[in-house]
């Protein structure tokens, strides 16, 4: 138990870097998708640079952070097995499964874009980018307030956040339509 706080600190550090990667990689995807529709030589120059940036972010930061955050989480659960008896931990672990599903789907998008296969629009990728934000908000509030939160208010709050994010994306789309350089 003397190492508990060190392990918890390492878990939090790698959760933060994992989310940083998950926040930034869809943004790079947006730029890759937009570069794919440009004329040559801009298409090739931007496309190659963005692929390299995405590859480095994905394999040097995001995937290792996901693995290390999970490893330290498992160690924490071994040290504190009573947490597995608490309802909030079950919900948190469900969100972690959802986060891994998001991560794996993002990996498939990454692989497609690395092979110049563009199936998403830049706007739909902006919406996809908000998935990790919703998971992050859910997990942080769940861990901090645990059982004291009223689940109904929590669920309503997450839906309101999702609506606000979608409205923000629509507003950005309108601004961008009026000013393409925004």
Binding site feature residues for heme: 11, 92
The whole-angstrom separation of Cα 152 and Cα 45 is 50
The whole-angstrom separation of Cα 25 and Cα 54 is 6
Residue by residue, DSSP assigns 66-93 as: HHHHHHHHHHHHHH-GGGGGSHHHHHHH
The whole-angstrom separation of Cα 64 and Cα 73 is 14
The whole-angstrom separation of Cα 19 and Cα 23 is 6
| Radius of gyration for the chain, computed over Cα atoms and rounded to the nearest angstrom | 19
Q: Exposure of 36 by Cβ count < 10 A (0-12 exposed, 13-18 middle, 19+ buried)?
A: middle
| Count of all residues that appear for the chain in the document | 182
Provide the annotated binding site.
11, 92
The whole-angstrom separation of Cα 44 and Cα 42 is 6
Q: How far apart are the first and last CA of the chain?
A: 51
């Amino acid at each position: 138990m003397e190492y508990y706080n060190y392990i918890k600190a390492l878990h939090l550090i790698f959760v933060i870097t994992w989310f940083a990667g998950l926040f930034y990689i869809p943004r790079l995807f947006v730029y890759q998708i937009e570069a794919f529709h440009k004329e040559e030589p801009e298409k090739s120059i931007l496309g190659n640079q963005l692929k390299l940036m995405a590859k480095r972010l994905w394999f040097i930061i995001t995937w290792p952070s996901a693995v290390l955050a999970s490893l330290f989480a498992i160690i924490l659960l071994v040290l504190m097995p009573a947490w597995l008896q608490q309802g909030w931990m079950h919900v948190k672990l469900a969100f972690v499964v959802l986060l891994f599903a998001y991560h794996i789907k993002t990996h498939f998008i990454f692989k497609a874009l690395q092979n110049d296969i563009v199936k998403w629009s830049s706007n739909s990728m902006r919406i996809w980018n908000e998935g990790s934000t919703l998971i992050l908000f859910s997990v942080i509030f769940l861990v901090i307030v645990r059982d004291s939160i009223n689940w109904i208010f929590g669920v309503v709050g997450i839906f309101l956040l999702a609506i606000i994010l979608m409205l923000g994306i629509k507003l950005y789309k309108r601004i961008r339509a009026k000013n393409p350089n925004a």
